[in-house]
Amino acid sequence: MTVPFLSARSLLALADQSHASYGADCACGMAACVGWESVAETRWPKECMHRVGTLHDPNAPHGVDLTFEEFHPDGTRYDSPNAPVAPLFFPYNRCDVFACGTCHRTLLKYTEYGGYYVDPRVRVLQADHIVIDD
């Protein structure tokens, strides 16, 4: 099943919508992921998560590498809870977007690949951190 590519504006609309409908009780455990948190596949609540889109541009020219450049104009770091969500920059340009079917949070998820490890990471999407880049 193909999921839609989400522009920064559609991501913002999704974040606004999900924040307005947060449920109080949820066992997904993802509410604490306000910065990029490692979430082992055994901890990922796949039974309640629905993939709603991707930030990986399907129209990017074939063979062109996505940038590993990060966007931190205010001196934040990659794992800072207040780091901007800039869809054209790393790691957002490699993210899929999920929604919890119980608490309705929207989550960003990507996998960090190192020399000897694979590390799935998750961040709760917050509308006030999204950078509109168009």
Question: Can you tell me the distance from the alpha carbon of 121 to that of 110, in angstroms, rounded to the nearest whole number?
Answer: 6
Tens of pLDDT, residue by residue over 27-77, are 788 988 999 999 999 999 999 999 999 998 877 777 677 889 999 999 999
Tell me: pLDDT of 21 over 70.
no
The position carrying tokens 């020219």 is 61
Question: Can you tell me the distance from the alpha carbon of 4 to that of 56, in angstroms, rounded to the nearest whole number?
Answer: 10
Give the type of residue at 100. Answer: C
> 36 and 91 in contact (C-beta within 8 Å)?
yes
Identify the pLDDT of residue 28: 87
pTM for this predicted structure: 0.90
Q: DSSP string covering 46-60, please? A: TTTEEEEEE-S-TTS
Identify the pLDDT of residue 54: 95
